Structure 1
Amino acid sequence: MTRVVVASSTGTVFEFYDFFLYGSLVTFFGALFFPPGNETAALLASLAAFGAGFAIRPLGALLFGRLGDRVGRKRTFLITIVFMGLSTALVGLIPTFEVIGWWAPALLVTLRLVQGLALGGEYGGAAIYVAEHSEPSRRGYFTSWIQTTATLGLVLSLLVILGCRYALGEEAFREWGWRIPFLLSVILLGLSVYIRLQISESPLFEQLRREGGLARAPIRETLLGAEHRKPMAAALVVAAGMALSWYTAQFYSLVFLQTALLIDNATASVLIVLALLIGMSTFVLAGTLADRIGRRPVILAGMLVSALSIMPAYTGLLTVGNPMLATLQTTAPVSVYATPTRFDPFASAAELDDATRGRDYLAKRGISYSNAPPLEGSELVITVNDTRIVGFDRELLQQTLAEAGYPDKSAVTRLESLSDLDSTHVKLIALILIMIVGAGLTCGPGATFLAEVFPTRIRYTALSVPYHITSAWFGGFMPLTAAWLVARSGDVLVGLWYPVVVMSTALVLALWVVPETRGRSL
């Protein structure tokens, strides 16, 4: 059984590594592949490209899910990993916007779509393969290791990026060194293919094939079969909770540290890696607990912890990571009197109006502001306490903010080594860990539940579809949605209400539609 878990998990870790490389550099890629001059719009465009890989994952789930239910689990996730490895390596060869203009974002989005298509067939195959090999009494434990693969993939991507940054230096990494982590995917691809060639097909699938019980049209049976409607509703609710808890705790926190708290990329990455490595055990512990008390209570507890902890945790991150900024939002509030900004990722710096320039500058500084209608006769007025600035005057705005006490750099000490860790770093890690506990409880038994709620003949398709629909629209677009809400409102925390509201809704629905599946025969 150990060989089955290792073979499935290793390949999936490498595939998530490929997928999350872009995500780990998402704040960095805006300047490489989109027009310069509007950092907020570039960040939104970069996050949208990240989300594009998620948008196509449901299609990958249908395509590879059908293949997995017709020709086998092993063959299918061999195909997906080849697609993922090659498309990731090609990202490392794309010229930047400065070199080839609009072809740069076009090629980037195209390769992100190929990655998303491949990942749409990966997770389901690995989770099912382990579940169909496991004895019922330990199925939660064994499949929980699959739940750690996304976290390990993110950690691996961050570690490789950090290694390249420290080895090459920041300037060389920014110019060309960022390509190395992507090109390394070729080596990981070869290793992954070798590992997966050593394993045999799922015994339950082989038995079904011998008996002639394979589904002829698994997509139609999954989507139109009346007997699968309730299981599909339950799977969608659970998968939505899994996606939101995971991405809010483990991915958006990285973006938040760099944007709202102004922490440098390397330090933010180290903090996230430490939090993920410490918190990863909660996934396995949750899977083990689900074998003892059931899948349903553990998943519901995870949703509750996530819904209750997100806003306090992020408020704590802001207070601990940038205490002066948090205080000044009350004592020296900033207001922007202007028409709503139209965020255009394709606009050049010369095409931006004063309102967009002003909001972009404040967003880059991590400063919250309130929006108000424009004052008569003025396109833009920014007030800092009682001081009024008419139009966008960068030097005057910078001077006014400085006089009010607004910091222009992070209050968090840059980490050159682990020996530089101080109490502030530890507090930030602890706050992220609180959210990871919620994600671990929700996701730990998730693969087991999704495998147990559907029959073998359509399991690959039926598991993959709800998982990747929710991963795309709730998880993958969570950073973009949150960043867009922040950009529209001016409040650096307002975007977090999106996962809180959706998670709370999922929790209420789960109380009604999610059954207990512990002990079910596959």
Structure 2
Amino acid sequence: MTSEAIPGRRRALTREERKVIIASSAGTVFEWYDFYLYGALASIIGAQFFAAYSVTQQSIFALLTFAAGFIVRPFGAIIFGRLGDIVGRKYTFVVTVVLMGAATFLVGLLPTYHTIGVAAPIALIVLRMLQGLATGGEYGGAAVYVAEHAPHNQRGFFTSWVNTTPTLALLLSLVVIMFTQIALDAGFPPVEQPDGTTLSAFKAWGWRIPFLLSAVLLLISLYVRLQMQESPAFQRMKAEGAASAQPLREAFGEWRNIKIGLIALFGLVAGQAVVWYTAHFYALFFIQNILQVDQFTTNVLVAWALIAGVGFVVAFASLSDRIGRKPLILGGCLLAVLTYFPLFEHLTRTANPALYRAQSNVEVTVAADPADCAFQFNPTGKVAYSSSCDIAKAALAQRAVHYRNEEAAAGTVASVRIGKVQPIAASDADFAVKVATALAAEGYPNPGHAETVKIPIDPSAGLANVAKVFDIWSAQKLTIIGILVLLIMFAAMTYGPIAAALVELFPTRIRYSGMSLPYHIGNGWFGGLLPATSFAIVAATGNIYSGLWYPVIVAGATVVIGLFLVPETHKTVDEYTRS
């Protein structure tokens, strides 16, 4: 590849180009829809498949199972990247969409822990890993395919449509979940569980329906993919006999290409990943699980923010065709570093004012032997977290309590001191009740508190509740949506140009393999592990904002590395991609 002045000017899309973009993006929307269903339903699925653990542990294990799909994404990038560079972009698309669709459909049929015991979470993790493999092969192929159809000076604009698919898919998953929940909870009675608790119809069994609906989307996406033609750049390269026989060895066995991959990973993708996943997943988790906002309200507010922010991806990607990829990607990371803490604090103050006041005014201390306290990050799910310290912290984490850690002598049973109340030992038989009573006395709100943002629905009204999705016209709700839109805007600055930047860094012969691995290591590991890592940091430190240090540090490192090591690529051309 060479960097030189780009001839020509921007022009309207041809019919063939529109077909390429629509076909690539439609299939990719389906794959991301499947992948994100689990993230949107993580708390419900955690209760169904990790029933043997406490509520806090269920949340951690559910998030880690979500992360399992991200962990294997780089392996999917290796497998399908090689296939795409040898066999072609089109046929790789077909394999990934079938694998994703089958795995998602099976999640909807999977028995729960109450039915088959420990086999349930194991099977769930296996299916999540299959989804991750499919996703690992999907994005790189879609980005390369579209970029290789694009004029040199419009690569950002063309590939941005592929980059809108994760946001559109998350929006689609939230809308399907909301409508399914409304319909089922209105038409079906609550269901008693084997442990004696009662769940709404949606939480008991209706959560399966969005997964099962993926079978219809699979058939549509498969048909679309089969109509696609191979990219012209790949065809010309094959015709000239210039394709790589060993793309993996060439991409990751030669230092010049390894260096490009490392620079792409740490100087671009890692920061983009944590900024994107903070805006789209950690913010959703933070509002629902930490700020105690109900699921329906959370989904409505996030959905409106996604609708308001989706155009940013195309806008910033198109801008990158003019001013370059680097300024926007690094600028989005820098804005995240500077604003995350005040924005999330404002989110708390707005969404749950009573909780914010209690966190600011009530002093809570956990006194424990440090050796008794675990960092609750456990990918295998084998640790029960039954020590007195972990019991104490779990009780506080469930209520989003700010607490200070105090070191106690070795062997001391952990205790909690709330305000001026006498310390409550974690070994006390009535520990949970006493903690709840003391917190209530000091002003900590219970879920459903009157000041907490809420869009009320009436189950007896059935589908008439659909109109509630427009119940956003209050200062409290609009402020929350505005904060979420800002987070999405930062994400769009980083994500809009990323596909074009990565495509331009690697030569055509190893492009699929070369760009896919750093992209999926960044988004699969740095991004995918963000919710679980951040939540574990919150539980360990006792501060609901401390989990933000993870994305802030990673994004900050990307700004520094990218500033000095990443080349600007928006004027790059190569001999196989048309002008």
- Tell whether the structures are fold-level matches, with TM greater than 0.5: yes
Among residues 538, 556, 564, which one is paired with 1:512 in the alignment? Answer: 564
Aligned-residue offset at 1:100:
0.6
Q: Please list, as runs of the form range in 1=range in 2, the aligned pairs for 1:372-383 lying within 5 A after superposition.
A: 372-374=406-408, 379-383=413-417
- 1:418 Cα deviation from its structure 2 partner: 3.2
How far 1:355 sits from its partner (Å)?
Answer: 3.4
Q: How many angstroms does 1:37 deviate by? A: 4.6
Within 5 Å, which residues of 2 pair with 1:339-350?
339=369, 340-342=372-374, 343=376, 345-346=381-382
Choose from 92, 97, 103 the match for 2:119: 103
Q: Find 2:386's aligned residue among 323, 327, 352.
A: 352
Give the CA deviation at 1:85: 0.3
Residue 398 in structure 1 maps to residue 433 in structure 2: no
Residue aligning to 1:408: 446
- 8 A contact 1:378–1:391 mirrored in 2: no
How far residue 154 of structure 1 moved from its aligned partner, in angstroms, is: 1.0
Q: Distance in 2 between matches of 1:164 and 1:253?
A: 23
> For 1:171-229, what per-residue CA distance to the aligned partner results, in whole angstroms no more than 9, with x for missing partners?
11111111111111111110001011111100000001111111011011101223324
Query: What residue is the counterpart of 2:103 in the other structure?
Result: 87
CA-CA distance at 1:375 after TM superposition: 6.3
Contact preservation (8 Å) 1:337, 1:375: no
RMSD, matched Cα = 1.6
Q: Which segment is superposed worse, 319-328 or 156-165?
A: 319-328
Alpha-carbon distance in structure 2 between the residues aligned to 1:230 and 1:308? 29
> Is 1:218 the equivalent of 2:247?
yes
Residue ranges of structure 2 left out of the alignment (5+ in a row): 1-16, 186-198, 458-467, 575-579
Alignment of 1:463-474 (within 5 A): 463-474=515-526
* SS state at 1:372 partner: strand
Q: Hey, what's the Cα distance between the residues in 2 that align with 1:108 and 1:17?
A: 17
CA change 1:450–1:347 in 2 (3 A) is closer
Matched with 2:488 is: 436
Give aligned pairs, total.
520
1:482 paired residue number: 534
Take 2:411 and 2:80, find their aligned partners in 1: how far apart are those partners? 59
Show the counterpart of 1:384: 418
| Equivalent position to 1:148, from 138, 148, 164 | 164
Distance 1:172 1:298, change over 3 A: same
Would the aligned equivalents of 1:309 and 1:434 in 2 still touch at CA under 8 Å? no
TM-aligned CA deviation for residue 378 of structure 1: 5.3
Pairs within 5 Å for 1:291-302: 291-302=321-332
What is the letter of the counterpart of residue 238 of structure 2? R
For 1:253, give the aligned amino acid.
Answer: A
Q: Deviations over 1:212-262 (max 9, x none)?
A: 111011011101223324422332121112211110111110100111110
Q: 1:400 to 1:8 in 2, by over 3 A?
A: same
Of residues 290, 302, 309, the one that matches 1:272 is 302
Letter in 2 for 1:242: Q
State the partner residue of 1:120.
136
Per-residue Cα deviation, 1:270-306 (whole angstroms, up to 9, x for no partner): 1111111111111100011011111122222222122
Query: What amino acid is aligned across from residue 75 of structure 2 in structure 1?
Result: L
Structure 1 SS opposite 2:422: strand
Following TM superposition, the consecutive aligned residue runs of length 4 or more in structure 1 with deviations greater than 4 angstroms are: 343-348, 375-378
Quote the residue 1:420 is aligned against. Answer: 471
Aligned amino acid, residue 476 of structure 2: T
**Offset, 1:362:** 1.4
Equivalent residue number for residue 308 of structure 1: 338
Partner of 2:234: 205
Report the Cα offset of residue 396 of structure 1.
Answer: 2.0
Q: Contact 1:381–1:388 (CA<8 Å) still a contact in 2?
A: no
Distance 1:330 1:227 in 2: 53
Please show how residues 41-56 of structure 1 align to structure 2 within 5 Å: 41-56=57-72
> Kindly tell me: are residues 64 and 394 of structure 1, through their superposed partners in 2, closer, same or farther at Cα, counting changes over 3 Å?
same
Q: Check conservation: 2:367, 2:407, Cα contact below 8 A.
A: yes
Partner SS, residue 371 of structure 1 = strand
- Report the 3-state secondary structure (helix = DSSP H, G, I; strand = E; otherwise coil) of the residue aligned with 1:382: strand
1:6-25 matches, cutoff 5 A: 6-25=22-41
Larger mean CA deviation between 29-38 and 442-451 belongs to 29-38
Q: Which moved more, 1:479-488 or 1:218-227?
A: 218-227
Q: How far is the alpha carbon of 1:376 from its aligned partner?
A: 8.4
Structure-1 residue corresponding to 2:349: 319
Counterpart code for 2:249: R
Secondary structure at the aligned position of 2:423 is classed as strand
SS in 2 for 1:335: strand
Q: What residue is the counterpart of 1:503 in the other structure?
A: 555
Q: In structure 1, give the amino acid aligned to 2:469.
A: L
Q: Is the 8 A contact 2:330 2:562 kept in 1?
A: yes
The 3-state SS of whatever aligns with 1:133 is coil
Q: Deviations over 1:34-65 (max 9, x none)?
A: 13451111111111111111111111100000
Residue 454 of structure 2 aligns to which amino acid in structure 1? T
Is the aligned partner of 1:135 residue 2:151? yes
* Bigger mean CA offset, 59-68 vs 358-367: 358-367
Structure (1/2) with the larger helix percentage = 1
Distance 2:250 2:386 in 1: 51
- Cα deviation, residue 397, structure 1: 1.7
Residue matched to 2:54 = 38
User: Are 1:196 and 2:212 an aligned pair?
Assistant: no
1: CA distance between counterparts of 2:136 and 2:360? Answer: 45
Q: Which segments of 5 or more consecutive residues in structure 1 lack a partner in the other structure? A: none
Deviates more, 1:502-511 or 1:406-415: 406-415
Helix, strand or coil for the counterpart of 1:17? Answer: helix
Residue 494 of structure 1 deviates from its aligned partner by 0.4
> Are 2:174 and 2:299, in contact at CA under 8 Å, matched by a contact in 1?
yes
1:449 counterpart (497, 501, 504): 501
In the alignment, what sits opposite 1:458? 510
Task: Quote the sequence identity (%).
Answer: 43
Contact 2:275 2:336 in 1 (8 A): yes
Residue 84 of structure 1 deviates from its aligned partner by 0.3
Instruction: Give 1:341's aligned amino acid.
Output: C
User: How far 1:450 sits from its partner (Å)?
Assistant: 0.5
Structure 1 length as normaliser, TM-score? 0.96
Cα distance per residue 1:81-130 (max 9 Å; x no partner): 10000001000111111111100110000001111011100000000010
How many Å separate the matches in 1 of 2:238 and 2:115?
Answer: 53
